[in-house]
Amino acid sequence: MTERIWDKFLTEQDKAVFKASGYGALASWGKRPALLVIDVSYAFAGESAMPIMEAIKKWRTACGEDAWEAIPVIGQLIGTCRDKGIPVIYTTGTSRSDGWTSGSWSWKNGRRKEAPTTAHGLDGNVIVKEIEPGPRDLVVRKEKPSGFYGTPLESYLQLLGCDSVIVTGTTTSGCVRATVLDAFSLNFRTTVVEDGCFDRSQASHAINLCDMNAKYANVLPSRTVLDHLASYPAHQFDLPSGAGVDTSRVWY
């Protein structure tokens, strides 16, 4: 059996419990997926690959080099989905300039008040240019971890007739996991792309992938997901036309 990223963190008893209890079975794929790209913005990726301890000096939420290993994978998934006419939906943060709407985010981070929402004039909520949204993609603004909470994401998926989601982005233990749990609770078949997600803690990344794979989603490598996407019929969704959308500016 192929070793999984989380295996080195599990005890032999953990492995035995998962096997005996039946968790981690491979669920069937959905027929009408959307690709979700969770929070791959400058605040979480930084502007280039650099060691995380350097990256967080500028962006306190940055995930360092692991982000820039995942971004090309996400880009390949986005390209495949666009070619197939499969919906690509991004999420990113939003807040008032005075920080009032941060609410509970301010309770557990000692640097919350010192960190600006911009660095060197760059808005941290902007999706990194390497995988920036196209004119036919959708972007959802959110204030809390889940892409579903307080946003129109569920209604967009209903309008598109989606029965499943393929989830990428960051952080694996935070906004990705929260989005996956809500997708599961809403009965969307859910796939998490193992190498298309990243976190600032490698242990949290691995263990949360393990837990999601056990109970809520199929956690699969991008090569498996891309192979499966190739089997979907093309252009089965009524996507936005993109007419009049100026992608040279932050339009979302």
* Residue 87 belongs to a domain: yes
Token couple for 135: 């004119």
pLDDT more than 70, % of the chain: 92
- How far is it, in rounded angstroms, from Cα 106 to Cα 86? 36
* Residue 62 belongs to a domain: yes
pLDDT digits (tens, 9 = 90+) for 124-146: 899 999 999 999 999 999 999 99
pLDDT for the residue 100: 73
As for how many domains the chain has, the answer is: 1
110: pLDDT confidence band, cut at 50, 70 and 90? low
Q: Which helix (H) or strand (E) holds 140?
A: strand 138-142
* Residue 2 belongs to a domain: no
Phi, psi of 141 (to 5 degrees): -90, 135
- How far is it, in rounded angstroms, from Cα 25 to Cα 146? 24
Range of the domain at 164: 9-18+29-229
Cβ neighbour number for residue 102 with a 10 Å cutoff: 17
pLDDT > 70? residue 119: no
β-pairing verdict for 122-123 and 118-119: antiparallel
If we measure between CA atoms, which residue out of 238, 187, 242 comes closest to residue 216? Answer: 187
pLDDT for the residue 98: 74
- What's the CATH number where 59 sits? 3.40.50.850
The mean pLDDT value of the chain amounts to: 92
Q: Taking residues 187-211, what's their average pLDDT?
A: 97
Torsion of CA 31, 35, 36, 41, to 10 degrees: 180
> Following DSSP, what letter does each residue of 164-205 receive, concatenated?
EEEEEEE-IIIIIHHHHHHHHHTT-EEEEEEEEEE-S-HHHH
pLDDT > 90? residue 171: yes
pLDDT digits (tens, 9 = 90+) for 18-75: 999 999 999 999 999 999 999 999 999 999 999 999 999 888 899 999 999 999 999 9
* Residue 24 belongs to a domain: no
Give the residue, 2 or 23, on which the prediction is more confident: 23
pLDDT for the residue 252: 47
Continuous H helices in 22-146 = 42-45, 52-58, 65-84
pLDDT > 70? residue 122: yes
pLDDT > 50? residue 193: yes
